Chains A and B, each alone.
Chain A
Amino acid sequence: MKSTKFIVADADKCIGCKICEVACHAAHDNLNYTVGAQYSAITPRLHVMQVNGKYVPVQCRQCEDAPCANACAIGAITEVDGKIIINEKTCIGCKACLVACPFGAIDLRPQIHNGEVVTQPRLKTLQDADENKSVLVAYKCDLCAENETQACVAACPENALRVYNALDDSKAKALQSALALHAI
């Protein structure tokens, strides 16, 4: 059976430098090269966590029975080419997918359209009556859907990240065990 791929990290290799997070931001939201030319905050789709003194990035598993998709009332989450994709244009920011995701892989951030933050036409913020509230939408790892390679995987200086493909992986492991059996 063909299953979705996802990005998996090796906690023994990760040094916690967060380059993967920066690369994720650069791949999705940024056209400029330098830190001074960043016009939005770094909003990565994976997060380097520290537990028991060790670092490891966590990100979306592209679940088969995706709880986020099941929770979305408006059907903004679909599978496209083996990737679970949030349609940031139709998302209404209800946060049901954030609640449903067991890995904390989904977050909210301002919706951007043509490089501009999208605001709500009628909803004003109380603190500042003249400002329209910006629209927040759910976002998560899309396996760099627009590109051939995955930015985080390419950027990691320790090769701690890889794209896990269940079928290839089990084939490779089966081959290893066959070789081991031959050796006996």
Chain B
Amino acid sequence: MSHNLIHIDKDICTGCRRCVDVCPVDAIHGQSGTPHEINLDTCVACGQCVQVCSSYLSEFESTPTIYAEKLAKRGMLSSVHEPLFAAYAQCHTHEVKDALANKNLFTFVQCAPSVRVAIGEEFGMPLGVLTPGKLAAALRRLGFDRVYDTNFGADITIMEEGSELLHRLTSGEGKLPMFTSCCPAWVKYIEQDYPDLLEHLSSCKSPMGMAAPVFKTIGAEIDNVDPAKIYSVAVMPCTCKHFEAARPEMNASGYQDTDVVITTRELAQLIKDAGIDFVNLPEEEFDQPFGEYSGAGAIFGVTGGVMEAALRTGYELLTKEQIPQLDLEFVRGDNGLRTADVALGDMTVKIAVVAGLDSAAKVLESVKAGTCEYDFVEIMTCPEGCMTGGGQPKLLLDGHRKLAFNQRRAALYSHDKDLPVRKSHENPSIKKLYGDYLGEPFGHHAHDLLHTTYTPRKVK
């Protein structure tokens, strides 16, 4: 399935092929020394080529007119004045700006965990600086009517995915290993490259995909607004989330659940465009009830985070006892594949955490061959999870990438440590959501809003 999200500007590309090296699906083609092209059928829109490309539009080859034309073609606001590189992600900032100016719309916004540990970088703050309070304040000043949070969505995901895993483990129904389904690039990849294994994917929507229909149904009810008038924006570290939001299945509310997705970089551009002094903003809170989150929701941004969050909840739901240790060091780390045997009561669950589609392909091949021993596998496309996503601030120099990744990761874990609630099932707003509206996790009503289906899409 094609998309229109990632491109290479022929005028700027020198054909150095560094992007070819990072593309996990060999979607980039061309002769070295000449401009390259992306096959948008196979491209999973991970944006890693955008992150690595270093060929920029030189002052010597540009004029104000050329620069303005390029901004327009990329969907960027005319106020942007950053260097432009050959590989780029299509922007959707104009849509958001127009919606915010439209007085007939009621606007919702949600922000992924990783946005709050990176957006400060775009304002000259230190790498990996943790700024949830300024983020909420900035979104409010941009004019959003409700400032909600994807972290809350992540807590719902844990309730659903944890229950689904326990169901698969104990009932014998559903395939094992079960794969996580939060990462849209991974989902597109398995749909096109391993369509026979789709039953292994959790039926859970992503945190964004779960939060959005909750906003447009229950959120609409709370605010007493017509869902037709709600415009729901998601801010993501990910260039592929736009693809996910546009999937026809993502309309459980009766409308497109997420109207538009912008990246961390695009949000920074909107904030600058509005003349908001991000660095000096006061610390504010996200709006209730869908802005309350646990530490488990916060660590979704780092590879291993979904697994750790799921184990914290899975353990307690199954054993009805407190998990002895909250920091599950064995799933943390930055290598492509981590595995462990975890005791849940008298059951031993074999888990694996995968970052990068190369490692994912190895696991998929072993499933195909019938030799895979894992029960539950977390898979993310980007090198160290979402905080290293294609929509995150682009480091000017390769040499700073690792430094940035380390600081963003440390910020996510320290955020988790400092939050009063660190398990999804103990988040009071989550308890209320299930108690008042959804009923049982993985139950009937939850299924309608929070679960999805997949489509085999073999690329010819």
**Interface residue B223 (Cβ < 8 Å from any Cβ of A):** no
Encode A5-35 as 1/0 by CB contact (under 8 A) with B.
0000000000111110111011000111111
Find chain B residues with CB under 8 A from A155 CB. Answer: 397-399
With A and B bound together, what is the CA distance between A91 and B17 in angstroms? 40
Q: Which residue of B lies closest to A107 (CB)?
A: B60
A33 touches B265 (CB 8 A): no
A35 touches B83 (CB 8 A): yes
B16 touches A22 (CB 8 A): no
Q: Which residue of B lies closest to A25 (CB)?
A: B396
Query: Contacts A18-B14, A26-B397 given: A54-B82 contact, CB under 8 Å?
Result: no
B14 touches A30 (CB 8 A): no
**Interface residue A37 (Cβ < 8 Å from any Cβ of B):** yes
B127 touches A42 (CB 8 A): no
Q: Which residue of B lies closest to A35 (CB)?
A: B394
With A and B bound together, what is the CA distance between A23 and B404 in angstroms? 17
B59 touches A17 (CB 8 A): no
With A and B bound together, what is the CA distance between A55 and B18 in angstroms? 15
**Interface residue B165 (Cβ < 8 Å from any Cβ of A):** no
Q: Which residue of B lies closest to A27 (CB)?
A: B397
Find chain B residues with CB under 8 A from A53 CB. Answer: 33
8 Å CB contacts to A: which residues of B226-271? 265, 268-269
**Interface residue A48 (Cβ < 8 Å from any Cβ of B):** yes
**Interface residue A176 (Cβ < 8 Å from any Cβ of B):** no
The A-B contact count (CB < 8 A) is 99
With A and B bound together, what is the CA distance between A15 and B16 in angstroms? 5
B14 touches A37 (CB 8 A): no
With A and B bound together, what is the CA distance between A154 and B124 in angstroms? 23
Find chain A residues with CB under 8 A from B82 CB. Answer: 35-36, 38
**Interface residue B56 (Cβ < 8 Å from any Cβ of A):** yes
Encode B117-130 as 1/0 by CB contact (under 8 A) with A.
00001111001000
Q: Which residue of B lies closest to A151 (CB)?
A: B397
**Interface residue B54 (Cβ < 8 Å from any Cβ of A):** yes
Query: Contacts A17-B55, A22-B54, A38-B83 given: A33-B395 contact, CB under 8 Å?
Result: yes
Query: Contacts A33-B127, A36-B268, A37-B121 given: A17-B396 contact, CB under 8 Å?
Result: no
**Interface residue A50 (Cβ < 8 Å from any Cβ of B):** yes
8 Å CB contacts to A: which residues of B48-67? 54-56, 58-60
- Shortest distance between the CB of A6 and any CB in chain B (Å): 22
Q: Could you tell me how many residues of chain A have their Cβ less than 8 Å away from some Cβ of chain B?
A: 31
8 Å CB contacts to A: which residues of B178-210? none
- Shortest distance between the CB of B266 and any CB in chain A (Å): 10
Find chain B residues with CB under 8 A from A32 CB. Answer: 121, 124, 396
Q: Which residue of B lies closest to A16 (CB)?
A: B14
Find chain B residues with CB under 8 A from A18 CB. Answer: 14, 16, 54-56
With A and B bound together, what is the CA distance between A124 and B419 in angstroms? 56
**Interface residue A184 (Cβ < 8 Å from any Cβ of B):** no
Encode B77-105 as 1/0 by CB contact (under 8 A) with A.
00000110100000000000000000000
8 Å CB contacts to A: which residues of B360-405? 393-400, 404
**Interface residue A157 (Cβ < 8 Å from any Cβ of B):** yes
A17 touches B397 (CB 8 A): no
Find chain B residues with CB under 8 A from A129 CB. Answer: none
**Interface residue B32 (Cβ < 8 Å from any Cβ of A):** yes
Find chain B residues with CB under 8 A from A50 CB. Answer: 14, 33
Contact for A33 among B16, B54, B59, B121, CB less than 8 A? B121
With A and B bound together, what is the CA distance between A33 and B394 in angstroms? 8
**Interface residue A43 (Cβ < 8 Å from any Cβ of B):** yes
With A and B bound together, what is the CA distance between A68 and B342 in angstroms? 70
B55 touches A35 (CB 8 A): no
**Interface residue A41 (Cβ < 8 Å from any Cβ of B):** yes
- Shortest distance between the CB of B316 and any CB in chain A (Å): 39
A54 touches B33 (CB 8 A): yes
- Shortest distance between the CB of A89 and any CB in chain B (Å): 22
User: 5 extra interchain contacts, Cβ-Cβ under 8 A, other than A18-B54, A38-B82, A38-B396?
Assistant: A16-B15, A25-B396, A35-B265, A37-B121, A55-B33
Residues of A at under 8 Å CB distance from B?
A: 15-19, 21-23, 25-26, 30-38, 41-43, 47-48, 50, 53-55, 154-155, 157
Residues of B at under 8 Å CB distance from A?
A: 14-18, 32-33, 54-56, 58-60, 82-83, 85, 121-124, 127, 265, 268-269, 393-400, 404
